Amino acid sequence: MSSLKIENFIKNSVIELSAYKINETESNEALKLDANESNYTLSKNIKKRYADFIKDTLINLYPDSGSKNLIKLLEKFYDTASKNFIFGNGSDELISIILLSLKKDVVVNIPSPSFSMYDIIARYNDLKINLIKLDEKYFDLPENISSNEDKSLKKIFFFSYPNNPTGSHFDRNVIIKLLENKNNIVVVDEAYIFFSNKKSFIEYISKYDNLIVLRTFSKIGLAGLRFGMLFSGDKLINEFKKIKLPYNINSLTLSSIEFFLNNFDEFDKNIKKTIKQRDKLYSALNKFNYIHVYPSDANFVLIKLKDKKLKNKFDGFLRDNNIIIRSFTGNMRLFYRITVGMPAENKKLVDYFKSFSGENNFI
């Protein structure tokens, strides 16, 4: 019997991809600081009230698109009418919905480095991609990005704000300038904005009909629920509503989000703790002269090995000690992104980094 010729059915852009690799660990000993989750868990008291709240969720029925209470809570939380937002199974799904809706002659502009899913999803949608190389010193956009634009080209820009993995913000005025050209759509992905003191772009959706803002609760302690939101003006959102799958958010997640919005103080406390820990971690890591540490407005810190000869040894050290932080390839191979963990985890990490410099007297 002959076998299936995969290339007769599956797009080349899919065949050429590698599956997204998730770092899983069986070991309780591992120091896992790679996925920008929050390692804070819920207090006993909240856990009990949460269990009580969701126990009557009707899982025999398809989910509705959120109870009236949930919609009201979200309208208030984001100060936006519900007609201007949709939910996604994480903001990943919303990035996918945006890219799925685009015509093939729209060029997808993605800063490099940035969140990898913009590029991956654009690729398998067979869209043209333009990578905007960020300068390594500040990781900002090239100054001439808006003035040098070919105004006749149709473009979409993805700006993670703050940017993953650099932790820095792009210049707000440059983003606004790009929004002023109606041949551009600008996506501002605010996955990490809870940790930054910059203002959200959500309030601009009534002013700029070519603006899309993405939010998620994944980074503040609810990654497992998979709940993201997309905000935009009437024109764009009405198109996205047509391709969003009808029951994309499960009933337990919808109930949970309602409960957690009513108990947001708990998360607010943890956000503040994370910011403090991030700044402490930054200062502690900054003392090691074998790495460069980048200031961050997010829940992670980016570092770079100063000497490329250390790369193999450092990777071996991480592996041997079960330290899981995000590493990169290509021209980012000397960089590592460290998620801010609990105080004890951050201390453990700093101690490991200290012992690495101790082992390597030449550093």
Ligand X SMILES: Cc1ncc(COP(=O)(O)O)c(C=O)c1O
Site residues (vs ligand X, CB under 6 A) = 36, 90-92, 115, 160, 164, 189, 191, 216, 218, 223, 228
Using CB positions, name the residue nearest to ligand X: 90
Residue number, 87 or 353, with CB nearest to ligand X: 87
Q: Which is nearer to ligand X, 33 or 191 (CB)?
A: 191
Q: Least Å distance between CB 55 and ligand X? A: 26
Q: How far is the CB of 290 from ligand X (least distance, A)?
A: 27
Who contacts 343 (Cβ-Cβ below 8 Å, separation ≥6)?
Answer: 277
Interatomic CA distance for residues 360 and 352, integer angstroms: 12
Q: CA-to-CA distance for 279 and 290, rounded, in angstroms? A: 19
Longest dimension (CA), the chain: 64
CB closer to ligand X, 70 vs 225: 225
Which residue, 157 or 353, is less far from ligand X as judged by CB? 157
Chain centroid to CA 139: how far?
17
Find the shortest distance in angstroms from Cβ 189 to ligand X: 5
CB 37 within 8 A of CB 339: yes
Cβ closer to ligand X: 36 or 284? Answer: 36
Distance, in Å, from the CA atom of 220 to the CA atom of 261, rounded to the nearest integer, reads: 12
User: From its phi and psi, is residue 88 left (phi > 0), alpha (psi between -120 and 50) or beta?
Assistant: beta
5: which residues sit within 8 A by CB, 6+ positions away? Answer: none
CB of 264 to ligand X, least distance (A): 17
CA–CA separation, 295 and 36 (whole Å): 16
Q: Which residue's CB is nearer to ligand X, number 115 or number 335?
A: 115
